[in-house]
Every structure is written in structure tokens, then in C-alpha cells.
Amino acid sequence: MFGYVLAVLGIVVGGALVYSIGYVVKRVRKISEIAFGTKDIVKGFQQQEELYNNTPKSVSGMTSVELPKILKDFPEFSWSEWKKICENTLRAYLEAIENKSLTYLKDASDAIKQQADLIIGEEMQLGITECFDQLQIHRTEIFRYEKKEGLCKIKIQSSLQYFYSKISEEKGKMIDNKIQQCRYDMELVFVQDMSKVDDDLAYEFIGNCPNCGAPMVAVGSTRRCQYCGTEVKEAYNTRIWTLHRIDKAK
Ligand SMILES: [Zn+2]
């Protein structure tokens, strides 16, 4: 009797299971059809990715709000000129990384050269080359103006696309190869007085001691290591706007 009940129970549960799997498969197809216009969900996701790769990323454009604030403090600031400089430097920065040469950045600030140099060094060590072909910049906008003690910052964002490929030299093979839509964040800084700048923020500009690697502090117009006393001339300009950072946004 007990065995019989168990068998019936087995059939019922099994049947329900088969029915629900069938139902789930049907639902997935239906969802895929609604979402992507195809019953094949994998194909749907691939089509979605292609569409995504061809759609420019939006930028946080606050230019109309932030620019008047900047002009109030810096009447001579020319956005049209800086926009051009930012876009040209961004192109040069990617060229420098692709060709592993800082000669492309001869007009850029020391900070940007150092940033590119770091990436080039890393990629040489890993034996990889990144190529950014057919680069197109869609839009460049100001997205924030920040006034801090001792310095001012203008954050800028560009939306762009390129045909991205990553090549491993060791294996001689292509790791990645596709059109990419992306955003890059850039930062213009105007240093008024580094001795007034908050330590955490100053660290970005000052960096570590080239001799012992310890953090350095600003002393007047130079920076000095707190441990070994090494002094280095500042790597930033004072009282002039400088494009100081370029970062790929996530
Ligand atoms: Zn030191």
C-alpha cells in the first residue's frame, strides 16, 4: 500500500516537474521574443550587445549650469578652447598608449605624461598592446565645477567610440576585438596655493618620493620627503589651468 502511494506521488511530482520545466522554457522564449524579437534568448542577448556597442554613451552634460559659475571666478576661461584641448589630448593619450611612445603627448602636462607612462610600462611588462582605431568623439561636456581650499577643479566628460583590439605579443593573438562605446573623464585643475590644499587631495599632485617611496609633502614651491629629505620640484603648474587627469569611466 505504502509503495503504491509512493509511486503515485512520484508520478505526480515528476509530472509537475516536467510540466513546469516545459512552462519555464516556454516563458523564456516568450520573454526573449518580447524583449529581443527572437525566440532564441542567446541570439537575443548577442543582438542586444551589438545594439549596445553601436549606441553612443550619454554624457552628464552640465555645461550650461557649471560654465557660468566658472566664468564668474575665471572670466578669461575659454570653454571652446579647452574643449578642443581636452579632445586633442585624449586622442594623443590613446595614440601614446597604442604606440607605446610619449612623443604623441609633447604638448600635454607632465601629469598626463606620467599617467600614460605608467600604463605603457604596465602593458610592456604584460606584453600586450591596445589599439583604439577609427576613434570618434561624440560629445564633450563639463559635468562639475569644484572650488576647494587652494585649488579649483573642472570635471569634463567625453563620449566616444573606437574599434578596440587588444593583442598579446607573447601568444601573437587577439584577445579582444570589437567596436566599443565609452566615456572618458578628464580633470582640469587650477592650483592657487598647494600649502592650503587638503592632504588627501594634495597627494594626487605630489605622489611618492622617487628615492625611498614614502609620501611627500609640499613645502613652498617644492615637495619634500618626510623621511629621507629628498626634494623635488612640483609636477604641477600654479595659477594656470592644466589638464591633469584622463580616466576611462566605468
Ligand atoms: Zn624619501
For residues 115 and 230, membership in a common domain is answered with yes
Distance 219 CA to ligand 1 centre (A): 14
Alpha carbons within 13 angstroms on the beta-carbon side of residue 121 total 6
CA distance 194 to 212: 22
User: In total, how many domains does the chain have?
Assistant: 2
Residues contacting 203, CB < 8 A, separation 6+:
215
For residues 47 and 66, membership in a common domain is answered with no
For residues 68 and 42, membership in a common domain is answered with no
Does 27 fall in a domain? Answer: yes
CA distance 164 to 214: 37
Angle of helix 2-36 relative to helix 41-54, nearest 10 degrees? 30
Distance 130 CA to ligand 1 centre (A): 34
For residues 218 and 180, membership in a common domain is answered with yes
Distance 228 CA to ligand 1 centre (A): 4
For residues 97 and 117, membership in a common domain is answered with yes
Does 57 fall in a domain? Answer: no
Residue 53 pLDDT > 60: yes
The average confidence (pLDDT) of the chain is 82
Domain containing residue 22: 2-52
* Cut 0.85: pTM above it: no
% of the chain surpassing 90 pLDDT:
45
- At residue 231 the predicted structure's pLDDT band, cuts being 50, 70 and 90, is confident
Task: Let me know: does 210 contact 223? Beta carbons within 8 Å.
Answer: no
Q: Per-residue pLDDT tens for 86-99? A: 999 999 999 999 99
Q: Per-residue pLDDT tens for 76-124? A: 999 999 999 999 999 999 999 999 999 999 999 888 998 999 999 999 9
For residues 125 and 214, membership in a common domain is answered with yes
Does 115 fall in a domain? Answer: yes
CA distance 34 to 203: 52
